[in-house]
Structure 1
Amino acid sequence: MSDDATPDADRDDDLTHTDEAGDVQMVNVGEKPDSSRRAVARGTIHLTESTVEAVRGNELKKGDVLATARVGAVQAVKHTWETIPMCHQIPITNVDTEFTVSEDRIHLEVAVETTGKTGCEMEALEGVTTGLNVVWDMVKAAEKDATGGYPDTRITDVEVVTKEKTVLQ
């Protein structure tokens, strides 16, 4: 559903990405007014306490986990339109990433800002999921058990926290 669509009883009449023949199409946002937009998303990666300590101490062989994950998150934000079908390419005006390290997990919050005709929540979500995937990639040797699995590692609670829009005059 587009960010301006409202749900109603007959959703088939409100489909924004599919035409009458069932073909997928990008929503035309050309007539919408430009707006200042901001979206914040967050998520968590659960790890063993020893891995989190290694991240804190920058003791992992692959390098600085959080710095690398920050770059991955920003890159993902900038390339969202290439990975999410029907997502518009938008001008990103700002990306903020914030990591919070706890005993057995790392939280990532990504805030994205743009000025344009469509929102940036998908960009914020892409930043979070890619940033957390980069953490996983950087720590996987430390997280792997004797059978090659990751019993303590999981990404959870990915969500959009806020979405703001101010129409420009």
Structure 2
Amino acid sequence: MSDPDEERDLTHVDESGEARMVDVGAKPDTARRAVAAGEIHLSESTIEAIRENDTKKGDVLATARVGAIQAVKHTWETIPMCHQIPITNIDTEFEVGEDRVELEVGVETTGKTGCEMEALEGVTTGLNVVWDMVKAAEKDEEGQYPGTRISDVRVVEKEKRVLE
């Protein structure tokens, strides 16, 4: 475990404080995997509609899965300092609870840099798609979404293996 008082280098900032993309050219290719997770809190009636596949816009989880996959594949276009990396696998797993939908996205690549940002983009976009698909059912009389929230988005696993 690292020392919290230890000074950390910001890899996307050069010596003069300017933002930069990290040069990974000299790094060896490695097999990498990252998993991110998050959740969206919804009303019980909306959760039931998702379970029964009974929403006005269609299959919420299938649409969210496609959105998550698309987001992973396009992360380099939306996160300014991300490298375009070869994605070798994407796993999406939904768990529908009593008051929330949880999403876990696993991303694999072989290359010179990791795929945590891709996993995070997959989770956030997948959860945003869920919200978009059910927002009409979640809206109250004033047009607000009092109980709907996306939370706990985080990287839950990261691994790398140098290739022989």
TM-score after normalising by structure 2: 0.95
Identify the residue that residue 129 of structure 2 maps to in structure 1. 134
Deviation string, structure 1 residues 32-86 (Cα, Å, up to 9, x no partner): 0000000011001000000000111111111100000000000000000111111
Identify the residue that residue 69 of structure 1 maps to in structure 2. 64
| One-letter amino acid of the counterpart of residue 68, structure 1 | T
CA RMSD, 1 decimal? 1.6
Determine if the alignment matches structure 1 residue 9 to structure 2 residue 3.
no
After superposition, where does 1:86-101 map in structure 2 within 5 Å?
86-101=81-96
| One-letter amino acid of the counterpart of residue 9, structure 1 | E
Which blocks of at least 5 consecutive residues in structure 2 are unaligned?
none
| One-letter amino acid of the counterpart of residue 64, structure 1 | D
Q: 1:51 aligns with which of 46, 51, 54?
A: 46
Identify the residue that residue 123 of structure 1 maps to in structure 2. 118
Q: 2:155 aligns with which of 143, 157, 160?
A: 160
Identify the residue that residue 78 of structure 1 maps to in structure 2. 73
Q: What is the number of equivalent residue pairs in this alignment?
A: 163
Deviation string, structure 1 residues 72-106 (Cα, Å, up to 9, x no partner): 00000000011111111100000000000011110
How far 1:7 sits from its partner (Å)?
7.6
Q: Structure 1 residues 112 and 65 mapped into 2: Cα distance closer, same or farther (>3 Å)? A: same
Identify the residue that residue 151 of structure 1 maps to in structure 2. 146
TM-score after normalising by structure 1: 0.92
Q: Structure 1 residues 77 and 7 mapped into 2: Cα distance closer, same or farther (>3 Å)? A: farther
| One-letter amino acid of the counterpart of residue 100, structure 1 | E
SS at match of 1:140: helix
